[in-house]
Structure 1
Amino acid sequence: MLKASLRSHLTLWFAGLSLLTLLSVGFYVGHIATEQMKQASGNALLNTARSAASLLGEQLRERQLEVYLLSRAPHLERGDLDNPAILKSMQLRTQARAEYAWMGVTDAEGKVHQAVNGLLVGQSVQQRPWFQAGLRGEYTGDPHEAVLLAKMLPGLPNDEPLRFIDFAAPIHNADGQVIGVLGAHAHWSWVTRIVESAAFAHKNSMPDIEALIVDHDGKILYPEALMGQQLAATDSKLQNWTAGNGFLTSMVSVPTPSSTALSWSIAVRQPLETALQPARLLMYKLLILGVVAAVLFGLVAYYLALYLSRPIEQLALSARQVQNNEPGAQFQLQHPVLEIAQLGQSIDAMTQSLLGKERELQEANASLEATVAQRTAALTQANAELLSLATHDGLTGVYNRRRFDEKLTEYTLLFRRTGRPFSLLLIDADHFKRINDTHGHAVGDEVLQQLAQLIQSSLRTTDFVARYGGEEFAVLLPEIAQPDTPEVVAEKIRAAIDEADFPAIGNVTVSIGIGLADPADNSHNALIKRADQQLYQAKAAGRNQVV
């Protein structure tokens, strides 16, 4: 492991802590400034949107009111739609309001009787939405194109379709019956100029702002480049602002005339990058200041550490000389820093004491090391013997019942986790009590030893065999696929024992019960019980059987 000097540690710690502190402060202050800037910009956008919406709503109400008042004129109520006074009134209105592109009156069937500049006179407007809505009441409509009217208007390019918004109001006679409609088309550019004048009044204080007019479905009506797109912004009913999709956006409903179904909103938005630029510049300056301050702190810490580390380095050099039995080791016994002076004095005294006892310690260590090595070897051998006694059967040399239980639990857990099946063989020597009674227990022990050897020699290296108890052995088979199925392995064991010659006995047979692991088992005892039942059936079937 690479180790650094004291001066390096002090320098890095001082510089790192100062950098971490200043960067943390910089990020925190930058975050606060960003949030405050976002809040201020959002509120400014909200105020701008409210101002534009209020101004546009006021202008729409005035135009709607003008059309309504004209429709209520006395000469219209008398029912003479061709009265020249009607045309004069409309001409005065259109002259006073340059936003009107067309104004005229129709009868109840949609035929235009009179219109400013004679446009559309004699034509039917029965299918126009403004006429149909005007028969029912006051109407202010969404913008639309009127190519025919645009071509008829003087002084306008014929290849550029214009957009208009419609105003209409029903004409009633003295009896209250609807006898016609007074309609007017206003230039859509008049609406956009109103919005722009209100929104861009603060353009110097809010650069890159963009004003949009949105209909009730959230589709953009203005500007032309975004017309028809869906605006993802805050709900206009909340009268608030949101930050998303790279913009700070505020959207406010236009207070349109209550008698109309018009539902517009004014959205004013500004790129987040632009709105938060001052706060980010502040954060960058703070981060740069933090880096500069960290460098200065690091330089100061380096020279301070140099002053403290030189005498300690000299002490370390002298200590190494003593360690390597090199002559000329000198310890600084005086220093302005009390702790360094005390350290030098203590090391000098300790060195003198250690040098005198070095030979004695070396001899003692050599003797101790030899003793420890001898005891370690004996302990290792004893531990190995204890482990073998704890896990193996003393008579047969195979694993004992305790180790079998541990292995069976291990296989069961693995089976539940991976679904990998395994099987259990329970092997019991036939008529073993007769062997003990006839030939004695010493011969019985020799039979058990030979049985264990025959079982082991018939198994694969991955299989596990243990003495289950008395003359009974247990075998765990972790692999049960073809060709080495449990039945094949069990039959191989049975045949090997049946064919073997047992001194003083002759022939010995075994009965074998096979159990397969089942996912429905609550514990491994269920598997042992099944294998034991199969062993019982093998005994009942005449012994020397595999069931």
Structure 2
Amino acid sequence: MITASLRSHLTLWFAGLSLLTLLIVGFYVGHIATEQMKQASGNSLLGTARSTAALLAVQLRERQLEVSLLSKAPVLRKGDLDAPDIMTLMELRTQSRAEYAWMGVADAEGRVRQAVNGLLVNQSVQQRPWFQAGMRGEYTGDPHEAVLLAKLLPGAANGEPLRFIDFAAPIRNANGETIGVLGAHAHWSWVTQIVDSAVMQKDATLNIEALIIDFDGKVLYPEILAGEQMPPASLRAPSGWTSGNGYVSASVAVPSPSNANLSWYIVVRQPLDIALQPARVLLYKLLILGVLAAIVFGLVAYYLASSLSRPIERLARSAKQVQDQKPGAVFPQEHSVLEIAQLGQSISSMTQSLLSKERELQDANASLEATVAQRTADLTQANADLLKLATHDALTGVFNRRRFDEKLAENSLLFQRTGRAFALLLIDADYFKRVNDTYGHAVGDDVLCQLAALIESTTRATDFVARYGGEEFAVLLPEVEEPDSPDVVAEKIRAAVAAAQFPTVGQVTVSIGVSIAQPADRDSLALLKRADRQLYEAKGAGRNRVA
């Protein structure tokens, strides 16, 4: 705790009162200026958001109208969805509009009959939302990733996943029957470029940022913020703009046609630091004026306080000597001011009493510190034991089933994110029930312990060994390349077990099933099933082997 002398306190009080007066005035003026700047910035951003939302709505309606009119072309109404003129119409449309990534026609059963560049031809789109909605009427849908189409198109230049906006309209013959759907996928980047171009008409030095938000407050754009949740209250503010979380933000709903399956908001925001910079400059000037006034008042107060504070400061210096255990501390016990004289006498007598008690406290503290240190060490060891019990098999000492499940899930997530393959070995002791029935469960437990030790000794430090259950063990291999490929590691384990001598029992063999993670795996269960199937193949082939 920082302390100050009496003269410093008096000086600070005088200076503080002057500074406080100016601060109150300054903050009041600054508050008014800040609110006015927020109002101006919010209204400006609201105007930008409205113009951006209107521009985006016009573009979306034009694309939907374009697809709708194309679906009513005479060549389509004839009913022959394989007619070459249909392809000509779609190619002309996609060549004139760079935003279209794909355009095609599908029959009433959902099979793509024709498409620009032949993409997705003869493939079924019956389960796609745009096809199902297009069979009923005109449709505009939210952005999404089209897995099949993305594989056939070049990836985004910045490494981001390809996303598309769907447009669809029913194709009806001359009798009014729906015979198919005309669908188009527009690049999501087309939408974002419209928004960015509208916002960039403003001064770029103002650091204005545009966001696209869906109906439930989730950020769709920019990609760096995709998935974040915006408070619903900030999207529907009565004034159209709010200030919070470091930004002044204006929000406007994008007008969308009645057939559009989307509800977007355009949010245009600016950092508060930039929006309120003029008000802050005014506040800083007022603060500087207050500091100068406080310095002048402080100098006057310091001169007046010096004469009163000197005797108290002498007492304070002597008390500090006692605190630092330095000899020679003298407390003046006579003074013209009665309170100061009494203070010197009281401090002198208290000092003698405190010195005697200090020795007693030192002894008690030493004993208490030793007790705390011992209790801390006991608690640390107990926590370590509890952690090992929670993650390790009590019999064999290797990891238990619960820790194995967690590790397998971690490897699966890492594989899905990075594509770095890993392998799983399932190991089962052959005829283990015969060991338990012949020699008893105690000998069976010894066999399991020796098996666990052999498996750990023949695997690498980076491999993960766990008891899967009963006489089964599992090994996760994070590396699958040569020379330590999964089948090599599995064969090494099998050979080591077959060559070992087990007390009382003699020879024990194991069967091993090997499985490697594949991109088609939706979760770790598929990998487990394959390894288990290979294990039973190894047993069915005669045991003591690797499958």
TM-score (norm 2): 0.50
Q: Which has the larger radius of gyration?
A: 1
